[in-house]
Each structure stands twice: as C-alpha cells, then as structure tokens.
Structure 1
Amino acid sequence: MMRAILPLLLLLAGCQPAGGGRQGGVVSLNPCSDQLLLALVPAERVAAISHYSQQPGATSLPLAVARRLPSTAGTAEEVIALAPDLVLATSFTPPATRDAFARAGLKTLYLDSPTTIAASKQQVTVLARAMGADARGAALNRRIDAAAARVVRQDAPVPALLYISGDLANGGQTLLSDLMRLSGFRDAGADLGLSVTGTLPVESLLAKPPAVILVPDAGGRTAALRRRVLDRAGATVREVAFPRTLVNCGGPTIPAALDRLALIRRQVAT
C-alpha cells in the first residue's frame, strides 16, 4: 500500500511552495520589482522575491531585508507552486514562461525598464493601482518630484561617463542618463556613440575624455587599468564613486540617485 501511494506523496511534496514561500500574495521575479513592491506594500503581502535581491552585487534592497523573505529562482514551476495572487515579471520574460503562467491562470503584470523619470513614475502608479496601494504610490511619486525639483540646474552641463561595471557604460537613452541630465551632467556615453548601455573600452575615451567618470567599484582591476591609461595620456578626468545600489533600478532608487548626482555636480567646477 505504501509503495502505491509513495509517488503521489512525492508529487504533492513537489507542489509545495519553494524557498519557504507561502501560497497567495505577490511573487516578484526581478530585483527592481522586488524593491518597488516593498516600497508599496508590507512584507506580509510578499510571497517571494527574486533570488537576485539576496546577492550583494545585484540587490537594490538592504540585504538584511531581502534575506528575511522567501525567494525563487524564477522558474515557472516554482512560481506556479506558490499559487500567488499576482506575479510581477519583466517584459523580457521568455514566451514559454509566459505561456506557462497563462495556462496556470496566474494574474501577471509584465513591467518594462523605464528610460525616463516620467516613465518610472508611471510604472509606480500602475503597480500601486494593481496592489490597491494608490496612496503609497502617489507618496512615492511626490518624493521623486521633490528630489527632481531640488537638483535641477540651469548652468552648462558637465560631461560625465557612468560605468555600470568593468567596461560596461551607461548610454544616452536610459533612466540614468535622464537623472544625469537633470542633475547638471551631459552623458558622455552618448557622445561616444552609446545609445543604450554597452561596452566602452578605455581606448575609446582617449580622443574625448569626459570631465568626470562615475564608478561603482573604484577598486576593480578594470577601473585601475583605465586610470593608468588616462594618466599616461595626460587626461584630466575626475573619478567619483557612484554606488552600485543606485545603478540598477528606478522608482524608490531615484531620490537617492539624484541626491548623489547633485552632490557630485556641486563638487565639480564647470
């Protein structure tokens, strides 16, 4: 008898929520939606966040907060087993995963990567409405507006290049570029041919060095090499730290990112 029911028991065990998650609530599959979700609703409504938010190099949440929450690796099987009320995924979600969510009858909200402050605010509004958290969404957008109002400058912009990591630099049609423009910088990545985030070797900077380079990791080997090459070329470039936690996402990150950019801009002569 036990042999007969063992396969059934194993099947049921495989359908239990993964990563310590609980059924119902919201599952978020991206570190940026993780952060936005927790800015809008209490943790009790979160069934699981992405495993990326529990990694120091990828999270936009305090690690102590992220590691107290259940997580998934983002597989359709894990998410479906949690039977969430809502899934927050990205516009890059593979078609097969989308189909699996649809067949399981899951309510899913696919979020894109906003490229402007206005688009990020709209995303806040959309998610807040989906969560029944309109007041919190409006409050977050007011904080974003207040940050934008206090950093805006009217003088000539300073050319600055923002490296995401290694040789990966920010381009001209991104949210970070919008934040830089508002804070009094001109995105030098666009000057050097980057329309979006892309690879920019140090050799590309020698013909037209920016006034400022923003880096998340001043101690990295690539940053050290870039520094030596620019020094030998006699380029006058100021390198300033821009924390990695301010690079990845919009929404709740925007006020802190704007404040950091404004501080750097005040320290840089035009």
Structure 2
Amino acid sequence: MSQFQMKNVLLTLLLILLGCQIATASERPSRVVSINLCTDQLLLMLAEPEQIASVSHLALEPNSSYMADKAAKFRINYAKAEELIELKPDLILAGLYNDRSLVLLLKKLGYRVEVFPLSSNLEDIRNNIRVMAELIGRETEGQRLISEMDKRLEQISRSNPTHKPRGAFYQPNGYTSGRNTLQHSALELAGWLNIADEEGVVGYGSLDLERLILAKPEQLFTSSYAPGTQSRGQLILKHPVLKQLTHGREMIEVAYKYWICGGPMITDAVEILHKSLPR
C-alpha cells in the first residue's frame, strides 16, 4: 500500500472512531462551531442557543466582541483541530484570516466548513447576515436583523446636515480609514465628510500630521483596540496640534467592537458619530 493510500485509510478510520456525523447541506445544523471572531458575532445574533456548540475564545474579549456577554454562556475553542473534532460539529464557520491549513484539513476530513469574507460596507454586512441565516436555517431572523439595522440608519439619515463637516479617524502611527472600510461607511452615514477618502486613502493607510493639518478636520475620532495601553505609536494622538485643529474639541472614542467585524452593531457607531456633529 502506498503512503498516499495509507494516509487516506487513516483519515477514514479517524472519522469512524470519532463517530463524526457530518450533516448534509440541506439539514439544519444543530452543532455549529465558530472559529472566527466575526462569525462568532453573527452566529450569536442569529442562532438558537441549542444550535451553538462552540464559539472562539476571541468572542469573550469585550473590547473587540460586541456579543461578549452572550458568548460567555457557550463553550469556547482555540481553533485547534483536535478540539474541533471532539466537538463533533455539523457546521464549522471560519473567516478569511483563519489558518488555511486548518480549514483544508477539516474539509479533507469531511467537515462542512464555510468561510466568510470580510465586510467593508453595508451591502457586505447584509450579504453576510443573509448567508449566515441561510446556513443555520434562520432566514426570517436574518431578514429581521437587516430590516432593524436599515430602519435605524434611515432614521439617522433624515437629520443629516446638507453641508457635511470634515472629520477623520486617526489611529496610532497616523493610520486612518479611507474608502472601502466600515469606518468610512459609518462616517458617511452619520453625515460626515471623510478626510481620508478626500486624501485618496483606500482601505487602511497612513495620513501624516502635515497632510492632516492641511485637510483642516473639524473633528477627529479614534478606536482603541486595547484601551488603557501606552505605546510610542499612540503618542501622536496626544500631539497638541490635534486639539488646535479642532478648536479645542477632544478626540472622540468610538469602540472598536462596533466595526472590527461587520454586523448590525455598526448602527451604534453611526449614532455616536451622528451625535457628535457640530450643532
């Protein structure tokens, strides 16, 4: 027997010994495992509690997980093959940044693994909600979630100013959020003109202090991934010229958990940004 044939035999035996029961695509999954922070969020929002076998350990981190409180009620995983197999999942949810070799291994073992793309705008968020809802047999709940999000955003847009004030997200080391980011979408939805987009930034890029000064922002925003920490890169956020630029207005903190993953929680961020408009 060749080495390749032996490997296939061993994999087959492993499945039998572990008693894996792989669900077909037409069945409603009852043991869903998420190994990605962003799939954690949508799964926790949409699934019946008894459908969730495990979420990733990242779901417990309150600074980055919008659903941290609910996640604490479920078993967590560290995206290790051994522990995932032990959970006997009938659906595994992953993201683009999960270990590709792990995803390939799980698929080779016969598990159903669905990999979700990143969200960079509202339509991406809607699509991912629809896909998640369909995968777990919760289409009605998915549509309800989208409708509630759209309704809140529409209410905000009704009171947006005709003349958009100039704002920007400013992060450690001068990083900012341009077009094709959730921060850009949120700024626009809240009634702001995003300076980073005007400066030609696409995705996440840097905006040095000189360019920022020339762009004349009326308000600056930031999102701390780990509040309370100190680093050299963060020093730029305390530069006195930033407060002078905005005529004494403090930089406004908008929690990272609202957009580190795409989901209806972006509406919370839009509301914060909208309330910060000059009156």
- Asked if structure 2 preserves the Cα contact closer than 8 Å seen for 1:47 and 1:70, the reply is yes
- Asked if structure 2 preserves the Cα contact closer than 8 Å seen for 1:60 and 1:248, the reply is no
How far apart, CA to CA, are the structure 1 residues paired with 2:205 and 2:125? Answer: 21
Output the TM-score relative to the length of structure 1.
0.80
Helix, strand or coil at the partner of 1:96: helix
- Asked if structure 2 preserves the Cα contact closer than 8 Å seen for 1:164 and 1:244, the reply is no
Partner of residue 188 from structure 2, selected from 162, 165, 181: 181
Aligned to 1:98: 103
Amino acid at match of 2:167: A
How far apart, CA to CA, are the structure 1 residues paired with 2:80 and 2:165? Answer: 44
Aligned to 1:226: 237
Partner of residue 59 from structure 2, selected from 53, 56, 74: 53
What is the CA distance between 1:112 and its match in structure 2?
0.7
Where structure 2 has 5 or more consecutive residues not aligned to the other structure, the ranges are: 1-13, 20-28
**1:35-83 deviation per Cα after TM superposition (whole angstroms, max 9, x unaligned):** 1111111222111111112223332223x33223211112333323322
Aligned residues: 249
Change (3 A) 1:253 1:156: same
How far apart, CA to CA, are the structure 1 residues paired with 2:83 and 2:173? Answer: 33
Amino acid at match of 2:52: V
Where structure 1 has 5 or more consecutive residues not aligned to the other structure, the ranges are: 1-10, 17-22
Aligned to 1:5: none
After TM superposition, the structure 1 = structure 2 runs for residues 1-270 of structure 1, keeping only pairs within 5 Å, are 25-62=31-68, 64-152=69-157, 153=160, 155-163=162-170, 167-217=174-224, 221=230, 225-230=236-241, 234-236=244-246, 238=249, 239-265=251-277, 268-269=278-279
- Asked if structure 2 preserves the Cα contact closer than 8 Å seen for 1:36 and 1:252, the reply is no
Amino acid at match of 1:83: K
**1:179-238 deviation per Cα after TM superposition (whole angstroms, max 9, x unaligned):** 211211122222344211234454542332421111234866555643334158x42353
What is the CA distance between 1:99 and its match in structure 2?
1.5
How far apart, CA to CA, are the structure 2 residues paired with 1:125 and 1:72? Answer: 25
Aligned to 1:3: none
Helix, strand or coil at the partner of 1:207: helix
How far apart, CA to CA, are the structure 2 residues paired with 1:227 and 1:25? Answer: 48
- Asked if structure 2 preserves the Cα contact closer than 8 Å seen for 1:167 and 1:201, the reply is yes
Output the TM-score relative to the length of structure 2.
0.77
Change (3 A) 1:231 1:37: closer
Identity of aligned residues (%): 23
- Asked if structure 1 preserves the Cα contact closer than 8 Å seen for 2:177 and 2:184, the reply is yes
How far apart, CA to CA, are the structure 1 residues paired with 2:32 and 2:209? Answer: 43
What is the CA distance between 1:136 and its match in structure 2?
0.5
- Asked if structure 1 preserves the Cα contact closer than 8 Å seen for 2:172 and 2:236, the reply is no
How far apart, CA to CA, are the structure 1 residues paired with 2:43 and 2:255? Answer: 22
How far apart, CA to CA, are the structure 1 residues paired with 2:185 and 2:216? Answer: 21
- Asked if structure 2 preserves the Cα contact closer than 8 Å seen for 1:86 and 1:109, the reply is yes
How far apart, CA to CA, are the structure 2 residues paired with 1:215 and 1:35? Answer: 22
Amino acid at match of 2:184: S
Helix, strand or coil at the partner of 2:245: coil
